[in-house]
Structure 1
């Protein structure tokens, strides 16, 4: 059953009762990574294994995960080549009261540092489950960044790349 979460603001990324922060390096430039995150929404299932369906909506996204979890999200920050953040407004997942995810992109000597913050509020069982699942979330994030980086490095560089 879908339920509406508490509508929090972008500062929730820093003030949430539970914050899981993961980082990985990618060889791809920040602009290509940003495009994959914020513009090529429908391609998320091709590089993020947990995502089975992704569709842009007016001002947000609709996401489905393996196992049947669904999210209706509002994009809160879309800063090209730097930051992409969204709030979950409606979900069928049990437990969360509020949820914001933020992707930060920082160019470095190797390409781009990708940082993903999963900021959440919920009851004790939800917080416990997230803490217990931290390693799995981190692995899913690192695998997604690695797969996306390979995809962007491949000839053609993704669905919107054009030959020069």
Structure 2
């Protein structure tokens, strides 16, 4: 499961579609609708939110807006709590996490959609976050599963 902290506009088509699908699964998990993935590390920040289901709804809404802007037809009715990212308390994400995710995305895009590479932010500039998140200074988030150096 990869619930990108990056702004949806940074995601290539495959990442945006996969994030949508996985966020729908996260919504089901947070609502208690499935027993799988309940302890997935990517869900910790949503579980810790004062309103977890609303937070994942806001996350999905941000993805839906980007998909709509690109002409994709994601089914908005699948978002159970239809709130915007500004309608719930934000979730903090570190700039280190965003940098890690950008590198991870860059590696994936290099293999599946090289034409998207120029659209990715540079490593030396700010990395935009999903509108649900507020960026703070810090390392990669403790919940992130970082493979040992030399693998991935």
TM-score (norm 2): 0.27
Structure with greater proportional helix content:
2
Structure with greater proportional strand content:
1
TM-score (norm 1): 0.26
